[in-house]
């Protein structure tokens, strides 16, 4: 079962992650793709819309990231933000202006079209966040200019028949006064149900984990932190005793931390191997004062200890608490594929011929504020006491 999805093409904007978070706050599931993603790669019955992100490049320069034009023929609405709008304008016959210097900061737009889809129900004058060099001087044929500023004649444009929209500002940034409402109006055009939440995620992920793992076994490094703890409990909920967790006490933790984590996880009936490797770590670190050398020693010894314990379980899968920001950050403009090196536990999956299970890979972590569709803690089971503060 696949949830309805908005595909976000990442053209290198510092705000791409924010777009995804805003969509999920609104109950829509967004996934980030690289700028070279093809229509074939993002297509599917679950695709409801496409957002083209901003980016640091100029669409007027040779080598600027392009778009597969077949994406416009997928039959779903498309929203271009900043670079995405300029790309749309350039490729469909609009005119662009190359500014001598970038515009960065708050601006007030005037909504000129009362029939606008994106600005439906919103104030005619609103503060938005600008961050751009070029701007659209003249909209392509068939597009209606829906908003302007004194310096930007096409601050927003729409082709209602084709359901294509472009905006020069960043609605995902909190400085944009009605940014969430603009995104919500786009989601309504996409026909999204806006029902993505942690409860749905848990049910779907349990099903996915069971299909992936089958009757195999999983080993996971449990630190007692939020990421590995949530991953462990979600895996445990899906496959029960097929999961073995390994907690390595390095001797470098707070006093009695292993006992505290043991007490926190006692109610959950997890199969955990509690390994006191403090002598190995402290022995290797004896006489070492250089911080970087210490880090390398700790990393090497941890891998050695964990690998030995993991091999003993004969597990086919390695569980990890990788989160979506880790995925996005590691990929940059190249697409959300790679994961930061420290999340790959020193190449252990390859060395040990194991497959990765990353149950939280599509999620952000929220701190404080009201609960949102993103995962603070899976609502199907309570957080251990030391993580629920």
Show which residues are catalytic: 82, 170, 172
More confident residue, 108 or 162: 162
Split at pLDDT 50, 70, 90, the class of 342 is very low
176 burial level (CB within 10 Å; 0-12, 13-18, 19+)? buried
Please tell me the least confidently modeled range out of 6-20, 100-114, 196-210: 100-114
pLDDT given for residue 242 in this prediction: 96
8 Å CB contact between 363 and 374:
yes
Distance CA(138)–CA(152), nearest Å, equals: 10
What does the pLDDT read at residue 180? 92
Q: Given this model, what pLDDT does residue 56 score?
A: 84
Render pLDDT for 138-170 as a digit per residue (tens, 0 to 9): 999 999 999 998 888 999 999 999 999 999 999
Q: Where do we find the tokens 């703890």?
A: 229
For 286-330, the pLDDT digits (tens) are: 999 999 999 999 989 998 999 999 999 999 999 998 887 776 666
Spell out the domain ranges in the chain. 5-190, 198-387
What was the pLDDT predicted at 321? Answer: 87
Domain 5-190 and domain 198-387 have a common topology: yes
pLDDT of residue 336: 40
**Percent over 90 (pLDDT), the chain:** 52
The residue with greater pLDDT, 23 or 363, is 23
381-to-126, 284, 348, 357, 360 alpha-carbon distances in Å: 42, 40, 30, 20, 15
- Torsion-angle region of 147 (φ positive above 0: left; ψ -120 to 50: alpha; else: beta): beta
Asked whether residue 81 carries a pLDDT value surpassing 90, the answer given is yes
Please tell me the distance from the alpha carbon of residue 304 to that of residue 298, in angstroms, as a whole number. 10
Question: Quick check: 64 pLDDT over 60?
Answer: yes
Give mean pLDDT, residues 326-351: 51
* Three-state secondary structure string covering 49-68: EEEECCCCCCCCCCCCCCCC
The answer, yes or no, to whether residue 92 has pLDDT greater than 80, is yes
Q: What share of the chain in percent tops pLDDT 70?
A: 84
Count of helix runs (H) and strand runs (E) in the chain: 11, 16
Rounded Cα distance, 155 and 116, in Å: 13
pLDDT computed for residue 383 by the predictor: 34
Confidence (pLDDT) at 294: 94
> Using CA atoms, how far apart are residues 329 and 126, in angstroms rounded to an integer?
32
- Please determine, for residue 101, whether its predicted confidence score (pLDDT) is greater than 60: no
Quick one: pLDDT at residue 348? 61
Is pLDDT above 50 for 335? no
pLDDT range class, residue 100, cuts 50, 70, 90: low
CATH 3.40.50.880 holds for 5-190: yes
Q: Mean of the pLDDT values across residues 27-46?
A: 91
Which residue, among 340, 307, 301, has the nearest Cα to 219 in the 3D structure? 307
Q: pLDDT value at position 374?
A: 36
d(CA 354, CA 356): 7
- 9 or 373: which leads in pLDDT: 9
Question: Tens of pLDDT along 185-210?
Answer: 999 999 998 988 877 778 888 999 99
Position with higher pLDDT, 243 vs 15: 243
Give the pLDDT score at 329: 62
Q: Which one has a higher pLDDT value, 367 or 158?
A: 158
The answer to pTM > 0.75 is no
Lowest mean pLDDT among 219-223, 248-252, 325-329, 330-334: 330-334
Q: Flag whether pLDDT at 115 surpasses 80.
A: yes
pLDDT value at 3 more than 70: yes
Fold of domain 198-387: Rossmann fold (3.40.50)
- Per-residue pLDDT band at 339 (split at 50, 70, 90): very low
Residue 219 predicted with pLDDT over 60: yes
More confident residue, 324 or 59: 59
Residue 385 has pLDDT above 80, yes or no: no
Q: Bridge-partner residues for 128, per DSSP?
A: 107
């Amino acid at each position: 079962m696949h949830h309805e999805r908005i595909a976000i093409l990442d053209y290198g904007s510092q705000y791409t992650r924010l777009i995804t978070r805003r969509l999920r706050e609104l109950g829509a599931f967004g996934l980030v793709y690289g700028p070279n993603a093809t229509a074939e790669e993002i297509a599917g019955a679950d695709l409801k819309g496409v957002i083209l992100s901003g980016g640091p490049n100029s669409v007027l320069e040779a080598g600027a990231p392009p778009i597969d034009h077949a994406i416009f023929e997928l039959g779903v609405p498309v929203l271009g933000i900043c670079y995405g709008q300029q790309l749309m304008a350039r490729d469909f016959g609009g005119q662009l202006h190359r500014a001598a210097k970038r515009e960065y900061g708050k601006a007030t737009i005037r909504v000129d079209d009362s029939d606008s889809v994106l600005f439906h129900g919103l104030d005619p004058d609103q503060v938005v966040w600008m961050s751009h060099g070029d701007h659209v001087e003249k909209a392509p044929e068939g597009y209606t200019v829906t908003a302007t500023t004194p310096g930007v004649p096409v601050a927003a444009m729409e082709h209602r028949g084709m359901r294509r929209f472009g905006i020069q500002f960043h609605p995902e940034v909190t400085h944009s006064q009605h940014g969430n409402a603009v995104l919500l109006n786009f989601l309504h055009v996409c026909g999204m149900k806006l029902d993505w939440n942690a409860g749905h995620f848990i049910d779907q992920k349990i099903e996915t984990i069971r299909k992936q793992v089958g009757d195999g076994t999983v080993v996971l490094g449990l630190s007692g932190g939020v990421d590995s703890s949530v991953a462990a409990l979600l895996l445990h909920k899906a496959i029960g005793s097929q999961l073995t967790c390994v907690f390595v006490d390095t001797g470098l933790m707070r006093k009695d931390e292993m006992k505290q984590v043991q007490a926190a996880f006692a109610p959950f009936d997890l199969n955990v191997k509690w390994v006191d490797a403090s002598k190995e770590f402290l022995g290797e670190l004896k006489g070492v004062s250089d911080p970087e050398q210490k880090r390398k020693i700790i990393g090497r010894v941890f891998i050695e200890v964990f690998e030995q314990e993991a091999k003993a379980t004969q597990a086919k899968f390695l569980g990890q608490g990788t989160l979506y920001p880790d995925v996005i950050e590691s990929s940059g403009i190249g697409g959300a594929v790679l994961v930061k090196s420290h999340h790959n536990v020193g190449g252990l999956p390859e060395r040990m011929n194991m497959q990765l299970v990353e149950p939280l890979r599509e999620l952000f972590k929220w701190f404080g504020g009201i609960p949102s569709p993103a995962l603070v803690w899976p609502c199907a089971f309570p957080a251990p006491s030391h993580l629920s503060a």
